[in-house]
Amino acid sequence: MKYEYLTNEDLDIAVNEYIAALKSEGLNVKTEVIPVFEAAGRITANPVYAHICAPHYNAAAMDGIALMANVTFGATETTPVKLTPDQFIQVDTGDPMPDGTDAVVMIEDVVRDGDNVLLYSAAVPWQHIRQVGEDVCAGDMILPSFTEITPAALGAMLAGGVLNVAVVKPPVVGIIPTGDEIVAPCENPAPGDIIEFNSTIFSGILRSWGAIPKTYPIIKDIKEDIINTMKQAVEECDAVIINAGSSAGRDDYSSLAVGTVGKVLYHGIAIKPGKPAILGFAKDTPILGVPGYPVSGIIVLDQIMRPVIEIMTGRNLHRQEKITATLGRMMTSPLKYREFVRVRIGVNEKGEYIATPLSRGAGVVTSFVKADGIIDVDKDCEGYAAGDKVEVILLRPKADLDNTLTIIGSHDPIIDEITDILKRDNKDSVVSSSHVGSMGAIMAIKRGEAQMGAIHLLDENTGKYNDVYVNKHFPNGGVVLEKGVKRIQGLMIAKGNPKGIKGFADISRDDISYVNRQKGSGTRILCDYLMSQNGIKESDVYGYEREEFTHTSVAAQIASGTADAGLGIYSAALTYDLDFIPICNEEYDFLIDESAIGSEKIQSFLKVLHSDELKQRLVRLGGYETWD
């Protein structure tokens, strides 16, 4: 490879050098002149001065008569001045002041006397007149450079006779998706196909920054094609993003193409995710090489492209709201890499923010959908302990967090359905749910990290659900157990039961591949209980170590043919059209911090929990019974 990997480079230093290099190549805003009525939200390229005064004429500010003030001088309550019709003109509010007049006397103060009028007090010159330039004067600066044009500013410009305005021209950013395995979005991708959605994500991000994305067709891993497309893009666009899988074992012509068309400043930055980023340019056109995994791509765009687009758009894109949060659980981070970790933020009943790290897989784009913020973990930091205070860069407005109901614990689709119903009723409502299993819920509430947990915990001795665990972990009370739903748990098996599975005990058969749930989940506890009842050892079960986090992901493995059986709820089997052997009717309940139970967000949640709309949705999902 012609271009060396310059890893371990500090991100901030690399970005500063990149910006400096681009500026020395002449990177700057481009400008265009557009009609004012199209300029809302645009950024001024120059100061805007008023051409005319607004108002541009002197106008009556009251209904009454216009006159020269000096004809009224000497008028008092005892010695009125009489004016003849040639000395005054009737005016309405807004009328231009007639020539030869410099004051308005309000109609209330005018006493009619035939065709004449009597005035009992003198007028002051220029009284009750809206004067030229009251709003803005010709020559005044209406807006300085690099200022966002608000709707009111549009009005001020038009009032000031400014019909066209020089604004920053939004930069066109080319996006080149590359890769042999990449296919356009579709509903039936073949195994090995990677759906190309990065360019759609990047387009959305660029648009939100005020740039104009231009996506090129997918280019196969053919050196000449990549170089030619890059040449074309550099000619047609103000900046270029090349998106490529950069993992070892693949062809990677990205840096070669950047180096051929322009210059590679860095290839490889010590960040995680996003290490294989390429910082390059051709003259004043920035070219950014972005890794193929979506999360890496988003981070690289955010960290490296944003400051570049900021220069090109004249906008402030770096103002981000930050909060201090308590870390809900331990989080390790590799040394020598600056890591960006997505987190969910919950608010406990004391109003403290609790951050829970989300999946760190670079391919898990939903982690960005669920994320409320990002923790920027320094290169020299090995991570944080549970309870540590961390700074979180927010991805949503702080007001949204304060309105968020955090539900932690066992996974069930009804939480999503309740979330949806709440949102339809009240657009302010936000529910944040983390699937950490039933035991995770109990621990989180004990630690004061969540107000509500979802649990289904079977007591092996009594055969009863939840109560025993709650009493054990909260001997002094402080929590309320709100009955949720009954749901059918059972063994999910492939459609038509090709392996003739008769019951749970068959999971120990040599020809059966099992898929399990994660430790601490109620379903895992149920599995272990059933295994002990049936005298099955862990080593008897092929796939016991294969852990999934939700019912649907267990069902998905069975549906994809890579597992023969797994425990899960009936609705998941139904979604994936699987056969199902019912085992028990579980009680899936909500554990609520007693001090939070009166809060509006929890009361709204409980209202929906007992609503007819939810009942109808549960019928559609299948396998549920309600308590009322």
Smaller CB separation from a copy of itself, 445 or 501: 501
Phi/psi for 171 (5° steps) reads -70, 140
**Residue whose C-alpha is closest to residue 210's, from 283, 342, 305, 320:** 305
Of 550, 567, 602, 614, the one binding a copy of itself by CB under 8 A: 550
Structure tokens at 594: 């007693």
Torsion of CA 175, 181, 186, 189, to 10 degrees: -170
3-state secondary structure at position 255: helix
Of 27, 104, 117, 201, the one binding a copy of itself by CB under 8 A: 201
Of 171, 174, 245, 373, the one binding a copy of itself by CB under 8 A: 245
Smaller CB separation from a copy of itself, 153 or 531: 153
Structure tokens at 241: 């993003």
Q: Which residue stretch of 205-213, 333-341, 461-469, 480-488 sits at the interface with a copy of itself (rule: CB under 8 A)? A: 205-213
Least separation in angstroms between CB 389 and a copy of itself:
22
Of 138, 480, 505, 581, the one binding a copy of itself by CB under 8 A: 138
- Rule CB under 8 A: say whether 197 interacts with a copy of itself: yes
Smaller CB separation from a copy of itself, 325 or 541: 541
Question: If phi over 0 gives left and psi between -120 and 50 gives alpha, with beta otherwise, what is residue 344?
Answer: beta
Smaller CB separation from a copy of itself, 345 or 445: 345
Least separation in angstroms between CB 201 and a copy of itself:
4
Site string for a copy of itself, 478-517 (x = CB under 8 A): -----------------------------------x----
Q: Distance from CA of residue 436 to its chain's centroid? A: 23
CA dist 134 and 93 (Å) reads 15
Least separation in angstroms between CB 522 and a copy of itself:
19
Q: What is the DSSP string of 69-135?
A: GGGGTT--SSSPEEE-GGG-EEE-TTPBPPTT--EEEEGGG-EEETTEEEESSPPPTTTTEE-TTSS
Smaller CB separation from a copy of itself, 220 or 424: 424
Binders in 573-592 for a copy of itself, by CB under 8 A: 575-576
Least separation in angstroms between CB 218 and a copy of itself:
14
CA dist 62 and 60 (Å) reads 5
Smaller CB separation from a copy of itself, 122 or 381: 122
CA dist 102 and 246 (Å) reads 78
Q: Could you tell me which residues are beta bridge partners of residue 408?
A: 434, 453
- Rule CB under 8 A: say whether 137 interacts with a copy of itself: yes
- Rule CB under 8 A: say whether 200 interacts with a copy of itself: yes
CA dist 467 and 587 (Å) reads 10
Q: Which residue stretch of 127-135, 343-351, 485-493, 596-604 sits at the interface with a copy of itself (rule: CB under 8 A)? A: 127-135
Binding residues for a copy of itself, rule CB under 8 A, total 126
Phi/psi for 155 (5° steps) reads -65, -45
Neighbours of 315 (CB within 10 A): 20
CA dist 329 and 331 (Å) reads 6
Residues 6 or more apart from 471 whose CB is under 8 A from it?
none
Measured at the alpha carbon of residue 532, what is the angle toward residues 527 and 538, in degrees to the nearest 5?
70
Q: Which residue stretch of 5-13, 170-178, 248-256, 278-286 sits at the interface with a copy of itself (rule: CB under 8 A)? A: 248-256
Least separation in angstroms between CB 318 and a copy of itself:
8
Question: Are residues 390 and 342 in contact, defined by beta-carbon separation less than 8 angstroms?
Answer: no
Binders in 451-480 for a copy of itself, by CB under 8 A: none
**Residue whose C-alpha is closest to residue 581's, from 481, 507, 470:** 507
Q: Which residue stretch of 138-146, 477-485, 489-497, 500-508 sits at the interface with a copy of itself (rule: CB under 8 A)? A: 138-146
Binders in 311-330 for a copy of itself, by CB under 8 A: 314-316, 319
Q: Could you tell me which residues are beta bridge partners of residue 407?
A: 433, 452
Question: Are residues 344 and 355 in contact, defined by beta-carbon separation less than 8 angstroms?
Answer: yes
Binders in 171-190 for a copy of itself, by CB under 8 A: 181, 185-189
Of 74, 85, 94, 498, the one binding a copy of itself by CB under 8 A: 94
- Rule CB under 8 A: say whether 619 interacts with a copy of itself: no
- Rule CB under 8 A: say whether 556 interacts with a copy of itself: yes
Sign of the dihedral defined by the CA atoms of residues 187, 191, 196, 197, in that order: positive
Least separation in angstroms between CB 40 and a copy of itself:
4
- Rule CB under 8 A: say whether 204 interacts with a copy of itself: yes
Least separation in angstroms between CB 324 and a copy of itself:
17
Secondary structure percentages of the chain, helix, strand, coil, to 5 = 30, 30, 40
- Rule CB under 8 A: say whether 55 interacts with a copy of itself: yes
CA dist 304 and 324 (Å) reads 24
Site string for a copy of itself, 425-454 (x = CB under 8 A): --xx--x-----------------------
- Rule CB under 8 A: say whether 119 interacts with a copy of itself: no
- Rule CB under 8 A: say whether 53 interacts with a copy of itself: yes
Least separation in angstroms between CB 142 and a copy of itself:
7
Q: Which residue stretch of 1-9, 203-211, 236-244, 498-506 sits at the interface with a copy of itself (rule: CB under 8 A)? A: 203-211
**Residue whose C-alpha is closest to residue 624's, from 488, 504, 526:** 488
Least separation in angstroms between CB 559 and a copy of itself:
8
Of 85, 155, 387, 498, the one binding a copy of itself by CB under 8 A: 155
Phi/psi for 528 (5° steps) reads -65, -40
Binders in 406-425 for a copy of itself, by CB under 8 A: 413, 416-417, 419-420, 423-424
- Rule CB under 8 A: say whether 57 interacts with a copy of itself: yes
- What's 494-508 look like in SS3? CCCCCCCCCCHHHHH
- Rule CB under 8 A: say whether 307 interacts with a copy of itself: no
Binders in 327-366 for a copy of itself, by CB under 8 A: 359, 361, 363-366
Strands 141-143 and 48-49: antiparallel
- Rule CB under 8 A: say whether 562 interacts with a copy of itself: yes
* DSSP secondary structure code for residue 38 in this structure: G
3-state secondary structure at position 568: strand
- Rule CB under 8 A: say whether 212 interacts with a copy of itself: no
